[in-house]
Structure 1
Amino acid sequence: MVQNRWFLFVLMLLAFTGIAQTTGIVNGNLKMEVDGMMKVRLSSTFKDAKPLMDGFVASEKLVMPLAEISDFKVMDVSEGSIQGDLKGKQWVFTGVYQKNGIHIEKRLTVKEYDGFPDLLSTQVSYVNKLERAIFVEKWVNNAYKILSQGDAPAFWAFQGSSTDAREDWIKPLQSPYFQQNYLGQNMTDYGGGIPVTDLWRKDVGIAVGHLAMVPKLVSLPTEVDSMGTYGEIGVSKKLEDRTVLEANGTLETEETFVMVHQGDYYNALSEYSNLMQAKGITMPEREDAAFESIWCAWGYERKFTADEVIGTLPKVKELGIKWAVLDDGFQIAEGDWNADPKKFPRGNIEITEMVDKIHEHGLKAKVWWTPLAADPGSKALVENPDMRIFQKDGSPEFITWWDAYYLSPANPKTIQYTEGIIDLFMNEYGFDAFKMDGQHMNGVLPDYNQDLELDYPEESVEKLPDFFQMIYDQSRKIKPHAVIENCPCGTCMSYFNMASMNQAVSSDPLSSWQIRHKGKTYKALIPQTAYYGDHVELSDNGNDFASSFGIGAVLGTKFTWPNDNPDASDSFLLTPEKEKVWKKWFSLYDQKMLSKEKYLGSLYDIGYDKPETHVIEKEGNLYYAFYADDFKGTISLKGLEASGKYTVTDYFNEVDMGTVSGKDPKLDVAFKQFLLIEVSPKGKKK
């Protein structure tokens, strides 16, 4: 228990030039040592954990045009308590750098927060002690060189940034490897993300990130050297146009953190989100309607007809699906959300009538929408051309996917315009929910519109979550059980937007693997929020319901019936053969409803445990989902009571697999693609 409390210890180390002081801080299983030059070494006290680092590094430093300032001689160390809602302790290290005509004072503040073992936060301020200004290019925090253990891969990593490659959020890292993980706009349309990077080995993992309450334009680079000896992580901010640090001026970094954990990245993300919520971020409560199954008209694509959508509803109801979604193609343009007269000659009333038909079939109605996008020449920009983002040269920020301009979330006119769209969708059309769509929603460029009188251009970046919170609040005011889905097409979703939705989604997954690991990510960060696996047609082979089912995701489909739209790019026709499969999965989904239950993400390491395994607990039973292309061997059922006896059932195939002892819960199995089993205490009535 002693190691779970903070304490300060001082080791006096002899040196040639005198006596240097090393200060060690321990919280839980994380130990941080700070030497006399304010360099840092981390270690972990987890059982069986091997060394994390083989020496001290300059983990917090300042980069100038011709110098990297990292050697700060420690002059003072003080310890104190943190008061307020989030209590704890803090240590302040004061050091100086004075050579080569530069004189800078550094104050490093290290904090522990009560109730968050294994984590330390850091914040640094640099004071220019010269009588003249200096240029600063970048600050760096929590930069560490982590030893690999010679395994292949050297590390697994979670990286929370986004690019148009739509890469896996977690993946094995082979040497050499580098990824910048910039959380601003990396390219047109793509940016934002989760401000955490995590490297983990079989024995221990380490995560870093920032603890600001709004998005920040920082990088969390990840690197593995060419020999595979080290993995490097950190948090940094490149300052625009060589920021001038005036004489006696102060530059302060964001509050950042380092955390150690065992198992995979799930544990780190869960702890990060819990801390952010303790700091004041409020996540939505669970909305039951968000867990109901979904049919989307996108199978007919943009050239759908109202008759096709309405004609499919009887089959949607027959399969037990609860939601019908009107997707892209009903509107005049992005930025003019009235009914397209070419498709709806009688105007908006025809969309209202379609929604009425959905409701008559006992279904709920959701509408596709891409907020903050407005086509050039659209009603929104004709009436308010200054709603758009202004880049430094006055040009707009393009959203190339929609051939649109990005509206500024910090502009009051954008807020007023968007409130009118919410009223149109919910009060006039009668929809019950939004499918907000587009990778551009994940991040935005700084806004240099001088008429807005922002305190600084990056306010547009920081106010993006407020914009989505406005949509959430206004929608729920009109319809208290409104479902708000945020689908940032293929991006690693901004953590700060998660507070203003009650349905996450795998968001155009490129594989079933993405459906599963995105699900594990969301369940770490927002376990109370529904996670939708997206259209099953986007999974492996277009029919992998098992990946959504086993991770605890809402099932969805975009089938067409009884015919395809001849102008669609592909066929999603619900054939009689497919219908049998679809009907079985949607029936099983309603029967089990695992998507509402507790996901036990700490039991298995998604990188190192084979086969890949996920577990959900419901009413004392454990539901295991195993995935592999072709597996034959022994599986271990983690999480059972050692003294218990359990019956095992392959519930998808309705096969009794016998009994296991909690003391040695192993089974020999063979399966292809997936195995779904239910484990119940022996003698328990089903």
Structure 2
Amino acid sequence: MSCRTVAAFLVCLVVVACRETPLSWQHGNLQVSVDDNLHVAVQSADAQSKPLTTGTAATEYLVTATDTLRDFRIDKKESVAFSDKIGAGTRWVIQGVADTTGHTIRKIVTLRVYSDFPDLMLLQAAYVNEADKPVSIRQWVNHHYTLLPVQDTVVGWSFQGESTGERRDWVLPLKPGFYQRNYMGMNNSDYGGGIPITDVWHADQGLAVGHVELAPRLVALPVSVDAAGKTTVEISKTYDQPYSLAPGDTLHTDETFVLIHHGDYYTALKQYGALLQARGLTFPEPEEGAFEASWCAWGYMREVTLDEIRGTFPKVKSLGIKWVTIDDGFQQAEGDWHVNTNKFPGGDAQMKALVDEIHAQGMKAMLWWAPLAADSSSKLMQAQPDLRLINAEGKPQQITWWDAWYLSPGYTGTLKHTKETVDLFMRQWGFDGLKMDGQHMNAVPPDYNTHLGGTEPEQAVRDLPQFFHTIWKEAKQINPHALIQNCPCGTCMSVFNMPYMNQAVASDPLNSWQVRLKGRAYKALIGKTAYFGDHVELSDGRKDFASSFGIGAVLGTKFTWPKENPAVTEDNLLTPEKEQLWKKWFMLYHRKMLSKEPYRGELYTLGYDLPETHVVQKGDTLHYAFYSDQWNGAVELRGLEDKIYTVRDYVNNVTLGEVSRASPKLAVTFTQHLLLEAYPR
């Protein structure tokens, strides 16, 4: 071994023979070992936790047309201390060869750990064809781990970041027989993308895997549970058409990671988000206006009239709500974004007058919009059919909800149309914010539009975030304080689109549980963010303000008043009884403004700490939100300093007692929710 000093840090290079003792090292609580066949095993080094994985196995491997290459006999290893924009760390490069009938493939695995990211390791595999003929590649796999079963009511809990038309929960309990593919490409014609990380946790610890590329990748992160309760995770890419690896050529996997952690997916996503930011992905600071409560005209749905919108303003203003959103129904068609003169007989000038009226009443105006979509019968599509995204079958890609077509996100014509639309909405009409809406925004399939000039079809997948960057730049040039909301209806929002919004949203939650679990995810990934809990009418009982309030979400509603639209079948009418409840929660929201304060997601483990608990800290006061269908027993208040705290039910203005770090439990009884504040005596 030789060591020398380079640029103020020590560099040690080690090259050893293939039959030496297998590599092993520890990074925080992550224990790593590499055997002679280049199997990279991970385990928890936490002495207080149970063994997590089954140990050494073929964790990174290659599937060819004729074989699965799992064993690569090591012939080189080297390690080096280094520093880059992420920070200081250590890098291992390990090589081995698989020499089977018809194949000679060299595998080069690069492993990196950073001092600023304990418990986490980056990995990238490269496969070099050292034979004299091509090899047909079907799939590569990284981080194929099997987690040991635990004796509990469930095998474990998981975060799985896929998007499908079923709009499943992002957080799921695991049981024998479970399987979910978690493909980051298109899972339905207009559902795809997501957050490329899978996290499985038990009461004592968890393991997460994912990729750290800064743009979308067409990979899967499948999770399966066998009959014995063993859970298998991995990240893999399967080629639709076999990839031909020519002699001398190299196939690189995406750069991926494994993380060992305590707590739940909040801990894993917080580390993942910090790593993405260290690598160059930037999440914008939220605008002050993003924390203001919102009313949306969608309660009247598409048949809304101008008189209904204007007639609701007095009640909206009386509740202290600052944002008015004009929703779907104002336009001529998706793609034809000038006003429908049947509703706005005065044309575009009448829309501008409506915005002026909103401003005159001291409120702000937001406009609904489905970017990247155009009806097949729209004037836009009749005039510019070249704007369409063309799929692998040579057909326009359909958006089911509006029976519309995808636009080609990287095509110059699409970008020109999009910029002109933003200018219409914000410069000409004067809107203060945009509600970008639609599940189709989350991902696109490979684009075979011939007008792209021979660009690789999969480039559209990777470049979709730049489409939203175009919208972001155009809007901010017009109004530096513009509110840009991304509402990808029911999907797990693509993390790569998040840099180009400043208000996240629960995006059509199916229930209150989804409001809470999505908020926890956004607050972990982004850090300080404005998270809008969506219309309260989408929560349990259509009035569960507590689920948004307790996690520090922005409140919103889509009530109608003084009467419903005859075409609407939902119950959105703000009756006198409902108005009292709405007043109570909006007044409390404006007084507390917990949406601006730090969320303490590290204090409780979802799925194991019961009842479900969330904490927001404002100054020296901790705000606890407990959720359960029924609860009668003790709750533990964590995060206290060495002081005596008074505990108060601030919703009902009732003092419940005192707690301290030494005696943090309190006996309570509640149904659905209990919101408490604890402040030093």
User: What does residue 3 of structure 1 align with?
Assistant: none
Name the SS for the 1:577 alignment partner. helix
The answer to whether the 8 A contact 2:13-2:78 is kept is: no
Q: Which moved more, 1:671-680 or 1:84-93?
A: 84-93
Query: Aligned partners of 1:176, 1:449: CA distance in 2, in Å?
Result: 41
Query: Aligned partners of 1:405, 1:236: CA distance in 2, in Å?
Result: 30
Query: Aligned partners of 1:21, 1:173: CA distance in 2, in Å?
Result: 37
Post-superposition shift, 1:173? 0.7
User: What does residue 309 of structure 2 align with?
Assistant: 309
Query: Aligned partners of 1:450, 1:78: CA distance in 2, in Å?
Result: 46
The residue type equivalent to 2:251 in the other structure is L
User: What does residue 210 of structure 2 align with?
Assistant: 209
User: What does residue 397 of structure 1 align with?
Assistant: 397
The answer to whether the 8 A contact 2:300-2:568 is kept is: yes
User: What does residue 542 of structure 1 align with?
Assistant: 542
Query: Aligned partners of 1:551, 1:573: CA distance in 2, in Å?
Result: 26
State whether structure 2 residue 661 is matched by structure 1 residue 662. yes
User: What does residue 260 of structure 1 align with?
Assistant: 260
Query: Aligned partners of 1:9, 1:200: CA distance in 2, in Å?
Result: 36
The residue type equivalent to 2:646 in the other structure is T
User: What does residue 417 of structure 1 align with?
Assistant: 417
Query: Aligned partners of 2:451, 2:322: CA distance in 1, in Å?
Result: 46
Post-superposition shift, 1:607? 1.1
The answer to whether the 8 A contact 2:283-2:500 is kept is: yes
The answer to whether the 8 A contact 2:12-2:81 is kept is: no
The answer to whether the 8 A contact 2:408-2:449 is kept is: no
The answer to whether the 8 A contact 1:20-1:35 is kept is: no
The answer to whether the 8 A contact 2:224-2:232 is kept is: yes
Post-superposition shift, 1:577? 0.2
Name the SS for the 1:495 alignment partner. coil
The residue type equivalent to 1:380 in the other structure is L
The answer to whether the 8 A contact 1:177-1:225 is kept is: yes
Query: Aligned partners of 2:327, 2:632: CA distance in 1, in Å?
Result: 42
Given the superposition, is the C-alpha separation of residues 584 and 367 from structure 1 closer, same or farther in structure 2, using an over 3 Å criterion?
Answer: same
User: What does residue 673 of structure 2 align with?
Assistant: 674
The residue type equivalent to 2:536 in the other structure is V
The residue type equivalent to 1:328 in the other structure is D
Query: Aligned partners of 1:159, 1:453: CA distance in 2, in Å?
Result: 36
Query: Aligned partners of 2:353, 2:412: CA distance in 1, in Å?
Result: 33
Post-superposition shift, 1:345? 1.8
The answer to whether the 8 A contact 1:613-1:626 is kept is: yes
Q: Which moved more, 1:559-568 or 1:377-386?
A: 377-386
Post-superposition shift, 1:191? 0.1
Query: Aligned partners of 2:122, 2:285: CA distance in 1, in Å?
Result: 28
TM-score in terms of structure 1 length? 0.96
User: What does residue 350 of structure 1 align with?
Assistant: 350
Query: Aligned partners of 2:203, 2:11: CA distance in 1, in Å?
Result: 28
Name the SS for the 2:381 alignment partner. helix
The answer to whether the 8 A contact 2:324-2:363 is kept is: yes
Query: Aligned partners of 2:455, 2:61: CA distance in 1, in Å?
Result: 27
Query: Aligned partners of 1:656, 1:479: CA distance in 2, in Å?
Result: 46
Post-superposition shift, 1:81? 3.0
The answer to whether the 8 A contact 1:484-1:503 is kept is: yes
Query: Aligned partners of 1:45, 1:8: CA distance in 2, in Å?
Result: 25
Pairing of 1:58-137 with structure 2 (within 5 A): 58-87=58-87, 88-137=89-138
Query: Aligned partners of 2:451, 2:373: CA distance in 1, in Å?
Result: 20
User: What does residue 298 of structure 1 align with?
Assistant: 298
Query: Aligned partners of 1:525, 1:147: CA distance in 2, in Å?
Result: 28
Query: Any idea what the Cα deviations from partners look like across 1:233-283, whole Å, max 9, x if unmatched?
Result: 110001131011111111110000000100111001000010110000111
Post-superposition shift, 1:448? 1.3
The residue type equivalent to 1:566 in the other structure is P
Query: Aligned partners of 2:492, 2:247: CA distance in 1, in Å?
Result: 40
User: What does residue 179 of structure 1 align with?
Assistant: 180
The residue type equivalent to 1:212 in the other structure is E
The answer to whether the 8 A contact 1:161-1:191 is kept is: yes
The residue type equivalent to 2:589 in the other structure is Y
The answer to whether the 8 A contact 1:432-1:483 is kept is: yes
The residue type equivalent to 1:569 in the other structure is T
Query: Aligned partners of 1:7, 1:538: CA distance in 2, in Å?
Result: 57
Given the superposition, is the C-alpha separation of residues 175 and 339 from structure 1 closer, same or farther in structure 2, using an over 3 Å criterion?
Answer: same
Name the SS for the 1:669 alignment partner. strand
Query: Aligned partners of 1:148, 1:470: CA distance in 2, in Å?
Result: 47
Query: Aligned partners of 1:399, 1:459: CA distance in 2, in Å?
Result: 20
Post-superposition shift, 1:378? 1.4
The answer to whether the 8 A contact 1:9-1:24 is kept is: no
Name the SS for the 1:631 alignment partner. strand
The answer to whether the 8 A contact 1:9-1:25 is kept is: no
The answer to whether the 8 A contact 2:93-2:110 is kept is: yes
Given the superposition, is the C-alpha separation of residues 254 and 176 from structure 1 closer, same or farther in structure 2, using an over 3 Å criterion?
Answer: same
The residue type equivalent to 1:582 in the other structure is W
Query: Any idea what the Cα deviations from partners look like across 1:182-236, whole Å, max 9, x if unmatched?
Result: 00001111000001000001111000000111000000000111221x1111100
User: What does residue 281 of structure 2 align with?
Assistant: 281
Query: Any idea what the Cα deviations from partners look like across 1:77-100, whole Å, max 9, x if unmatched?
Result: 101133432232210010000022
Pairing of 1:125-524 with structure 2 (within 5 A): 125-228=126-229, 230-524=230-524
TM-score in terms of structure 2 length? 0.96
Post-superposition shift, 1:8? 11
Given the superposition, is the C-alpha separation of residues 8 and 155 from structure 1 closer, same or farther in structure 2, using an over 3 Å criterion?
Answer: farther
Name the SS for the 1:496 alignment partner. coil
Post-superposition shift, 1:473? 1.6
Query: Aligned partners of 1:434, 1:418: CA distance in 2, in Å?
Result: 13
Unpaired runs of at least 5, structure 2: 1-9
Post-superposition shift, 1:402? 1.0
Query: Aligned partners of 1:559, 1:454: CA distance in 2, in Å?
Result: 50
Query: Aligned partners of 2:302, 2:293: CA distance in 1, in Å?
Result: 22
Query: Aligned partners of 1:55, 1:574: CA distance in 2, in Å?
Result: 59
Post-superposition shift, 1:149? 1.4
Q: Which moved more, 1:655-664 or 1:309-318?
A: 655-664
The answer to whether the 8 A contact 2:369-2:434 is kept is: yes
Given the superposition, is the C-alpha separation of residues 337 and 376 from structure 1 closer, same or farther in structure 2, using an over 3 Å criterion?
Answer: same
Name the SS for the 2:358 alignment partner. helix
Given the superposition, is the C-alpha separation of residues 7 and 205 from structure 1 closer, same or farther in structure 2, using an over 3 Å criterion?
Answer: farther
Query: Any idea what the Cα deviations from partners look like across 1:91-122, whole Å, max 9, x if unmatched?
Result: 00100000222110000000112311100000
User: What does residue 40 of structure 1 align with?
Assistant: 40
The answer to whether the 8 A contact 2:422-2:475 is kept is: yes
Post-superposition shift, 1:392? 2.5
Q: Which moved more, 1:146-155 or 1:156-165?
A: 146-155
The answer to whether the 8 A contact 1:8-1:26 is kept is: no
The answer to whether the 8 A contact 1:9-1:23 is kept is: no
The answer to whether the 8 A contact 1:380-1:417 is kept is: no
Query: Aligned partners of 1:216, 1:182: CA distance in 2, in Å?
Result: 10
Task: Point out 4+ residue stretches in structure 1 off by more than 4 angstroms.
Answer: 6-10
Pairing of 1:536-685 with structure 2 (within 5 A): 536-641=536-641, 643-682=642-681
Post-superposition shift, 1:393? 3.1
Query: Aligned partners of 1:414, 1:114: CA distance in 2, in Å?
Result: 44
Query: Aligned partners of 2:355, 2:551: CA distance in 1, in Å?
Result: 31
Query: Aligned partners of 2:398, 2:455: CA distance in 1, in Å?
Result: 24
Alpha-carbon RMSD across the aligned residues, in angstroms, is: 1.7
Name the SS for the 1:606 alignment partner. coil
The answer to whether the 8 A contact 1:434-1:485 is kept is: yes
The residue type equivalent to 2:655 in the other structure is D
Name the SS for the 1:41 alignment partner. strand
Given the superposition, is the C-alpha separation of residues 19 and 466 from structure 1 closer, same or farther in structure 2, using an over 3 Å criterion?
Answer: closer
Post-superposition shift, 1:286? 2.0
User: What does residue 6 of structure 2 align with?
Assistant: none
Query: Aligned partners of 1:60, 1:450: CA distance in 2, in Å?
Result: 37
The answer to whether the 8 A contact 1:644-1:663 is kept is: no
Name the SS for the 2:275 alignment partner. helix
The residue type equivalent to 1:169 in the other structure is W
Query: Aligned partners of 1:673, 1:648: CA distance in 2, in Å?
Result: 19
